[in-house]
Amino acid sequence: MGWVCVAGGLAVGGGGPARALDLSQAAVVFPPNLSGPERQAVTMLVEEVAKRTHLRWPTSSVWPPTNQAVIVLGPRAALAAWAPALGGDPPTGPAAGPEGFTLAVRQADGRSPVVVAGNDSRGVLFGVGWLLRQLHLRVGSATLPDGTHLATAPHYRLRGHQLGYRPKTHAYDAWDLTLWEQYIRDLAVFGCNTVELIPPRSDDEPTSPHFPLPPMPILVGMSRLLDSYGLDVWLWYPAMDPDYANPATVQAALQEWGEVFRQMPRLDAVFVPGGDPGHTRPGVLLEFLAQETKELHRYHPRAQMWVSPQSFNQAWLAEFLDILQRDPPAWLSGVVFGPQVRISLPELRAAVPAQYPIRNYPDITHCRQCQYPVPNWDVAFALTEGREVIDPRPLDEANIFRLLQPYTIGFTTYSEGCNDDVNKMLWSALGWNPDADVGEILREYSRYFIGDRYTDDFAQGLLALEANWRGPLLPHQAVETTLAQFQDLERAASPQVKLNWRFQMALYRAYYDAYTRQRLSYETGLEARAREVLRAAPERGAVAALDAAQRILERATSRRVAADWRARVFELGEALYQSIRMQLSVPRYQAIAVDRGANLDTIDYPLNNRRWLLEQFNLLRRLPAEADRLKGIARLVNWTDPGPGGFYDDLGNLAWQPHLVRGPGPASDPAFLHSALVGFEEGEVVDEPDEKPTNAWRLAWMDHAETLNDTPLAVRYEHLDPTATYRLRVVYGGDSPKKRIRLVANGSIPIHPLLTKPWPIRPIEFDLPRAATAGGQLTLEWHGEPGLGGNGRGCQVSELWLLKTPDGSGSP
């Protein structure tokens, strides 16, 4: 049987259906004098197989004399001594690059040895990782398809993930070095070669109630662990002090950073974000980093220094690029593209001199108010599951990867916890082979982490969880189907599988999704019934109608729907805290904040307008005149009615935004730099059901259409009455109330100049000049303040009415 080599990719062969090669009684054989990382690869193989099979493979540096099944590991050059027993030397072939390996089953010496020949030490580690992903492991059994052969090397040289031991994360801060080593192994199995750590001082609290050790010992321990596996160590180090033009500030920072550098056993690169956090002018920042690079090289002479233009406004970005082009710093190793960079990755690559490589720093952990928000996400999910939810997004992440990675040398992802575990493994695998099939990566994930019998079913379940988030939730009946499929897996699962935190995370999401949909359907129905009662107010009396409508709305909390599913979510939340220290609640598990993954605390967030309606009911009851009360009720009932010839858009509602100009969309613009997207803001959170809110928000104010940076937000109307006069009513919602916004019609007709959004949030109205609609068409464009830095948000519109005035006077 021959060897197959494929440059930069892989080939699996066998010539027809492959029989299983029984490795249950195999021995692991390796050359003497392996390096430390190579010995770690051997240990990883033996221990990870033992965990899944209860079989302990013996290891030896001596070729076994019997016909026992053999797994041979080592660097290619060191395996030459066993060439006769292996049936010949493994060829180098076109996949002979760094970190590559050849893996094959050979017919030799009366047996079928499985050979993993690394091009270098890392090649041995990654070859073992690939073998682990292909093995079929069950208690008492380990098999591999006979005829497996493969030669491969990674496409991208940098394949990493940020793992921050800090309070802001929702699990990492509770991990000891034993947990960290296991996770480092898990990442290496899927091809990760770099981990980015975080120093003791960052934009975070100095300590956490979950810390098993202070930050510095963990940082040192993780650096040492990574070195033992031969993996690169990066350090994300924000420059947060207020004035790096002050020599005293610089001197203090040199001492602080230098002490961290000194204590780390291994450090290959430092990445300093330009912002988020930090706020230092580029020229000053680069002068400071030139000095920090010298300090870095005192302890790690070959370590690199990288920087990003995150959060820069247009003027600072121009200054940054001008410095790189005019006087390129020799100490700078490269530029990082991350969240809050005003321009796209292709634009950054074109603007940065070619001598500087680009590293990607993609946010794979957040779902809204982030670099790559979930497209077309329903507000019900956004309000309950939140920004940092368990988020397997295999198809979205693969699209982002394939669109943007070609402009870079690789990536180290931005992560805030284990919620994005599937995404990490997917990025690692695609970093090795960008053409790998997403479904096959998920099957390998499921087989290795959950169990051989779950290979396809769990993989399909992960795809279904992503599909749960596609489009409006109310009509999305497949959400319950997804839960039913996971319940089938749950009923058949062994106790060991039920204790598996990755299995628990998927179950948690499936139950949470389905409970949220049931509650949305129930609460939407309650509001519809309450509105019907209010419509009868002229006959039954205003106060009686308000009281009856209130009793209906209050059933949302007095008569819960799908209570058993809700209870199971809480049980799984407790299980996840016990298994992986996931902090899904502030009061229960001391999560640092609700928006840091603690979505048990928002599981019952109202999914209809009852908070706002009950507040309005109280205001109406205080009115002395029945006529005024009835008028106020009519306003509530007819809130979205634009009147004859008018139009209404709830611009954050996926089912009610017919006039929104969407732009290219997420398939080609996943960061929405040139497209409209749906954003969210909760307003005032009410934690207790009987707490009386003030200035409660309508559900339509908790979502909005928005654009980022200087991209205008647009709506377009067709077939208007060219003889009519129109008036505009608009609600400026969003999470940036201090950002100003202006409105232009048809590209040149000003409707209002830059103004601060009204607060408290409420509708405001503007007359439209007749010339704006005289052609029967109308385009409205909102613009934020130009050139701002930061997150780029602010151009945000929640509700919009185009009202046709009956008499042409400008008043509807």
Burial 66-77 (b: 16+ CB within 10 A, else e): eeebbbbbbbbe
Q: Please, which residues bridge with residue 705 across strands?
A: 678, 797
List the helix and strand counts (H, then E) for the chain: 25, 28
The confidence score (pLDDT) of residue 88 equals 67
What global pTM score does this model have?
0.95
Using the predicted structure, report yes or no on whether residue 370 has a pLDDT greater than 50: yes
The confidence score (pLDDT) of residue 433 equals 97
Quick: pLDDT tens for 303-338: 999 999 999 999 999 999 999 999 999 999 999 999
Quick: pLDDT tens for 758-785: 988 999 999 999 999 999 999 999 999 9
Higher pLDDT, 183 or 111: 183
Structure tokens at 573: 């939340």
Residue 390 and residue 466 in contact, taking contact as beta carbons nearer than 8 Å: no
Residue 612 and residue 698 in contact, taking contact as beta carbons nearer than 8 Å: yes
Quick: pLDDT tens for 424-467: 999 999 999 999 999 999 999 999 999 999 999 999 999 999 99
CA 166 to chain CA centroid, Å, is 18
Task: Single out the residue of 164, 124, 132 nearest to residue 148, CA to CA.
Answer: 132
Relative to beta strand 726-731, strand 59-60 is unpaired
The confidence score (pLDDT) of residue 648 equals 98
Whole-number Cα distances in Å, 201 to 167, 210, 284, 434 = 11, 17, 21, 36
Quick: pLDDT tens for 102-161: 998 876 555 678 999 999 999 999 999 999 999 999 999 999 987 788 899 999 999 999
The confidence score (pLDDT) of residue 687 equals 35
Q: Please, which residues bridge with residue 279 across strands?
A: 275
Contacts of 260 (CB under 8 A, 6+ apart): 199, 200, 216, 219, 235, 237
Using the predicted structure, report yes or no on whether residue 4 has a pLDDT greater than 80: no
Quick: pLDDT tens for 591-621: 999 999 999 999 999 999 999 999 999 999 9
Q: What is the mean pLDDT of residues 72-86?
A: 85
Query: Between helices 501-535 and 626-637, what is the axis angle to 10°?
Result: 140
Q: What is the mean pLDDT of residues 232-252?
A: 97
The confidence score (pLDDT) of residue 54 equals 97
Task: Single out the residue of 381, 254, 384 nearest to residue 654, CA to CA.
Answer: 381
Quick: pLDDT tens for 668-710: 999 999 999 999 998 753 333 344 445 799 999 999 999 999 9
Relative to beta strand 141-145, strand 136-138 is antiparallel
Sheet holding 713-717, edge to edge: 713-717, 778-784, 740-745, 749-756
Quick: pLDDT tens for 714-761: 999 999 999 999 999 999 999 988 899 999 999 999 999 999 999 889
Sheet holding 677-680, edge to edge: 677-680, 703-707, 795-797
